[in-house]
Every structure is written in structure tokens, then in C-alpha cells.
Amino acid sequence: MINLNEIKSNYPQTISKEDLYKILHISKRKATWLLENKYIPYQKNSKGTWKYKIKLDDVITFIENCMHNSDKHNSKQKEFSISLSLSTILFDSDDFKLWLSDEWALEKDIMINTDIVTLTGYTISTVNQWLLSCKLQNVKTQSGIFTTKDWLINFYCNDGNRIVNKCVVHCKLLNKYNMS
């Protein structure tokens, strides 16, 4: 996960479309759509390899606007979904891990799949898939499959953050974190 300070330090002031899709964790097609539909300003370049010259500050502004005005971008979802993929890059994982530990402080330390469903809002089949594929670290015993709150927090900061179609509970959690 990349935070805004890392983006500013790792990229030049003028970037290409390739840099844009890497920063936003989106496809080349979606990056082109964002540019052509004027979500992010750019200058056309006559060179074939650098067709788009994009100011890094404009990308940062776009990310910040998505954080604060998600409804504006959700209205275009039918045309091209851009709302949830940006949640991947809006926080520092160490900071989020500490915040989530505080947020879930009163939750059980040892959890089964139904506890995870209740806490996260994901379906039982999704949670079972995470457990069986070991994306969410767990322990198998004669009594069933168990995970810990710490393992769930680590999952949310890594693989869980890369979920493309985040459930409503997950999105609300990210918005609450972004507002704190």
C-alpha cells in the first residue's frame, strides 16, 4: 500500500499514463478512461511513447477528491467503476493496523468464520475462501478453523486491502479511517 507522501517522493512532477495506472492500482484502460473523461488533467504529447504528460499534483488532487467526494465518482460507476479501487492507496498500512487494533479492541481475540462474517460484512462463502486458501492466516483443529483478531487485521492491511469489490462494511471502515 502506498501513501501520498510515498507517491510524492517516488515519482517525478510529470508522469506518464503507465505511472498513473501503477499509482492508482488500476488497468491501462481505466487510466485512459480517467484521462479522456477529464477526471485528471493532462497535456497531449506528440511522442507515441509519452502520449500523456500528467502533473503529479493533479493525480494527488484526484486522489484527495476521491477521498472526500466519493459520491461524485460513484455516480459514474455504471460507465466505469473508479470508486473503490482508490481505497487501496489511501493509507499507510502500519498506521491503519494501529487504528484498526483500536477500532476492534472489544472484538474477540479468537474467531471462527461466523465471527468474521459478523465483523466484516462479507459472506460466509467469501470468508471460508479466505480461510481455506490461507489468505487469512488460520489454525485447523478438530473443532474447526480458527483465526485471531491480529491475523484478521494483518489480512485487512494486505490481501484484504486489494479486494476490488469491497463490501459496504469494509468501505465504511475505510471511510471512517480516512476521516480520523
Give mean pLDDT, residues 125-151.
Answer: 94
Length of the chain: 180
Residue 62's Cα: distance from chain center in Å?
15
For all residues of the chain together, what is the average pLDDT? 82
Q: Which CATH class is domain 4-89?
A: mainly alpha
Share of the chain above pLDDT 70, in %: 82
Query: Which of 1.10.1660, 1.10.10, 1.10.3470, 1.10.260 would CATH assign to domain 93-179?
Result: 1.10.1660
Which phi and psi angles does 79 have, rounded to 5°?
Answer: -75, -45
The domain limits of the chain are 4-89, 93-179
Torsion angle (degrees, nearest 10) of CA 155, 156, 157, 159: 60
pTM for the full predicted model: 0.55
Residue-wise pLDDT for 21-38, tens only, equals 888 888 888 888 888 878
